[in-house]
């Protein structure tokens, strides 16, 4: 994870799209109104990093994802490489947090613990897609998983405490806010 974090994004241009949306925000434009093609007209080093695939589409990510992109753009400045580094760093931290939560959650069940690490922690497809490519989906996964864990298992007619329901709702809302597909955690 550490090595894939410091390497340039690979396998997808999504991290560069996120960096572009963050740069638009840092320049005072809304990524929900202004398309990335606007940055091409600036004729600077960042303009050459704007992927052509989505350059005429506005952002489809929620406000929390845009906030992450904005902070990365502020920290990275006019360098697409630095902006994507910050984005990938946070994604990698979320990936590691999920691995740690799974490890601690399943520490007394060795077979399930091994399965969780094989399916998440050392899964080459997830490492490539989430860490190497720098997809923000891992942030939504982390929030959604924590939301489900806060709610806890339900046994028969036992009702969870109100604070658990509120915290789970907030975390599931964060997951859906980052990327709307993760509203499906609510079904869980």
Mean pLDDT by 10 residues, the chain (188 residues): 92 92 94 91 82 89 96 94 96 97 95 96 95 95 94 71 91 96 89
Give the position of tokens 């006019």.
Answer: 78
Is the separation of the CB atoms in 48 and 88 below 8 Å? Answer: no
pLDDT for 155: 62
Q: Alpha helices, DSSP H only, in the chain?
A: 2-6, 14-26, 37-40, 63-76, 80-105, 110-116, 124-126, 137-151, 162-178
pLDDT at 18: 95
Identify the sign of the CA torsion 73, 77, 78, 84.
negative
User: Tokens 């630095």 appear where?
Assistant: 82
Q: What pLDDT was estimated at residue 68?
A: 97
The reported pLDDT for the residue numbered 42 is 78
* Spatial separation of the C-alpha atoms in residues 133 and 26, rounded to whole Å: 23
Q: Which two tokens stand for residue 149?
A: 């864990």
Specify the pLDDT at position 157: 60
Task: Report the pLDDT value the prediction gives residue 187, as an integer from 0 to 100.
Answer: 85
- The whole-number pLDDT of residue 93 equals 96
Residue with tokens 């005429």: 56
């Amino acid at each position: 994870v550490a090595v894939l974090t410091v390497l340039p994004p690979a396998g997808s241009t999504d991290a560069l799209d996120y960096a572009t949306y963050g740069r638009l925000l840092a320049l005072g434009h809304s990524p929900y109104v202004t398309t990335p093609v606007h940055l091409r007209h600036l004729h600077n080093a960042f303009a050459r990093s704007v992927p052509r695939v989505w350059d005429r589409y506005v952002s489809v990510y929620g406000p929390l994802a845009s906030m992450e992109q904005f902070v990365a753009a502020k920290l990275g400045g006019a360098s697409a490489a630095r902006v994507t580094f910050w984005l990938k760093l946070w994604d990698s931290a979320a990936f590691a947090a999920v691995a740690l939560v799974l490890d601690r959650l399943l520490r007394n069940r060795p077979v399930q613990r091994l399965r969780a690490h094989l399916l998440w922690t050392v899964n080459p497809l997830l490492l490539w897609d989430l860490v190497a490519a720098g997809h923000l989906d891992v942030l939504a996964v982390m929030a959604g998983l924590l939301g489900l864990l806060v709610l806890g298992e339900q046994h028969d007619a036992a009702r969870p405490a109100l604070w658990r329901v509120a915290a789970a709702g907030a975390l599931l809302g964060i997951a859906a806010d980052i990327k709307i597909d993760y509203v499906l955690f609510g079904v869980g």
